Amino acid sequence: MKISKASVIGLGYIGLPTAAALATQKVSVLGIDVNESTVNTINQGKIHIVEPELDVAVQAAVTRGFLRASLTPEPADAFLIAVPTPFKDDHEPDLSYIKQAAQSIAPVLKKGDLIILESTSPVGTTEMLSQWLAAERSDLTFPHNTGESSDIRVAHCPERVLPGQVMYELVHNDRVIGGITPRCTEAARNLYEVFVRGECVETDAKTAEMCKLTENAARDVSIAFANELSIICDKTGIDVWELIQLANRHPRINILQPGPGVGGHCIAVDPWFIISQSRDETPLMQAARNINDNKPNWVIQKVQHSVEQILKNTPGKSITDITIACFGLAFKADIDDLRESPAMRIAESLANSHPGTVLGIEPNISELPETMGSSKLKFESTEQALMTADVYVLLVDHREFRRFNPSSAGKVVVDTRGIWLP
Ligand code: SAJ
């Protein structure tokens, strides 16, 4: 079936680039979002998020008339759902955004339509989506109960793009596509082949769901191993970065890099979707989550220890005279995203506990967002921080911070990324 009109529900970090990629291939795309200002921004050909090359793609698609945004769904041949799937306080997945998306598109569905869930989801969610849609539209048949003969096709195709490289990876990465039935899979594959140059690999919905969770859980476990090594090496006086470089010279070893903890909305979240369904079978994934979640506390202790050392070595200096500078607040290098950032957590915690000044330096933003900045954390430029700091804490390996090295100038440094080695 040829898709001439598609609708993308949720115009965030995944939905908007996907809408733009489809529109670039001359599919008429309607993007739906609950946020009015997002809708208005996109209809002006502009974007509300930072992602290289996305601005150009959206502007071209809107100007040429292939992309439009709205608060209200309209009929289309295919609907791609790309809404958030966070977890609740007890680490149980919160699927309410998917359910709301299903309820919002149900009234405009017609026989032959294809629904694709792109949001990262616990195993079984695609089938639940089909059930939620069926509950709204008893006049149509759905694949979870009528199988191949259903009026509507439902499939899962998890997004796998890396923030910062979304526009490239969206086109070039392989896609894993799992329908509730083989015909659902085939219909979804036809859609992705419109803009994907990587391979579109077919499976079933549950395997596709588990595949995405597995990818991010595997990365979490690997980073936990690196973080554990960094703590052991610190205790034994070994340079962990040299150690990992040496070990990685073995042809079958590829250890990831330690850091201040794991941030973002994916790697630190998705393992919980497996754990919450298989608590007794996941000791390794649970241990990894614990190690990565506790790494910020270890970094805070290292900084506190450095402050104590300065006080011990400088009689007459008071703790209120000591300025701690936290270099980097984003959740990883060269992006502006502060959400779920271990660096931000460390900086805020130090600002709240240290009686002297704590500086937060983040070259990718112009000010601290009101909701996130601790009132005691002082936003500062790199140059100013370099002049006033007593303790230099490197939290994010932004390219700006690679241009100098306080260790070689004999400063007190806590380097969580290994770019300021003595
Ligand atoms: N990190 C380390 N050490 C490393 C690699 C990463 O400490 O060696 C930290 C980062 O600093 C960051 C966190 O892990 O705090 C996550 O960063 P990331 O670059 O590993 O991943 P994300 O969250 O930006 O994107 C991941 C990607 N998944 C995988 O690489 C398996 C991406 O492909 C997914 O599409 C994305 O999650 C998602 O949306 O699920």
| Upper half-sphere CA count for residue 209 (Cβ side, 13 Å) | 22
- β-pair type (175-179, 153-156): antiparallel
Using the atom order of ligand 1, give the atom closest to the CA of residue 262: 15
> Which residue is closest in CA terms to ligand 1's atom 28?
216
* pLDDT(150) > 90: yes
> Which residue is closest in CA terms to ligand 1's atom 29?
216
pLDDT band at 96 (very low <50, low <70, confident <90, very high): very high
- State the CB neighbour count (10 A cutoff) for residue 64: 11
Question: Tokens representing 366?
Answer: 């112009």
| Residue 163 alpha carbon to ligand 1 centre in Å | 8
> Which residue is closest in CA terms to ligand 1's atom 25?
162
**What is the distance between the alpha carbons of residues 74 and 328, in angstroms, rounded to a whole number?**
43
| Residue 39 alpha carbon to ligand 1 centre in Å | 28
The helix or strand, by DSSP H or E, that contains position 353, with its residue range, turns out to be helix 342-353
| Residue 217 alpha carbon to ligand 1 centre in Å | 10
pLDDT tens string 278-337? 999 999 999 999 999 999 999 999 999 999 999 999 999 999 999 999 999 999 998 888
Q: Judge whether 212 counts as a catalytic residue.
A: yes
Residue 230: per-residue pLDDT: 98
Average pLDDT over residues 382-394: 97
pLDDT tens string 167-220? 999 999 999 999 999 999 999 999 999 999 999 999 999 999 999 999 999 999
- Break the chain down into helix, strand, coil percent, rounded to 5: 45, 15, 45
* pLDDT(3) > 90: no
pLDDT band at 373 (very low <50, low <70, confident <90, very high): low
For a pocket test of ligand 1, which of 209, 216, 221 has the largest count of ligand atoms closer than 8 A to its C-beta?
216
For a pocket test of ligand 1, which of 220, 267, 298 has the largest count of ligand atoms closer than 8 A to its C-beta?
267
Residue 336: per-residue pLDDT: 85
Does residue 223 have its Cβ closer than 6 Å to ligand 1? Answer: yes
Asked if 93 and 85 count as a contact pair (C-beta separation under 8 A), the reply is: yes
Catalytically annotated residue among 184, 200, 266, 326: 266
Residue 374: per-residue pLDDT: 55
DSSP string, 13-60: TTHHHHHHHHHHTT-EEEEE-S-HHHHHHHHTT--SS--TTHHHHHHH
pLDDT band at 18 (very low <50, low <70, confident <90, very high): very high
pLDDT tens string 31-68? 999 999 999 999 999 999 888 899 999 999 999 999 99
Residue 164: per-residue pLDDT: 85
**What is the distance between the alpha carbons of residues 209 and 158, in angstroms, rounded to a whole number?**
7
pLDDT band at 384 (very low <50, low <70, confident <90, very high): very high
| Residue 300 alpha carbon to ligand 1 centre in Å | 22
Does residue 216 have its Cβ closer than 6 Å to ligand 1? Answer: yes
Does residue 174 have its Cβ closer than 6 Å to ligand 1? Answer: no
Residue 339: per-residue pLDDT: 86
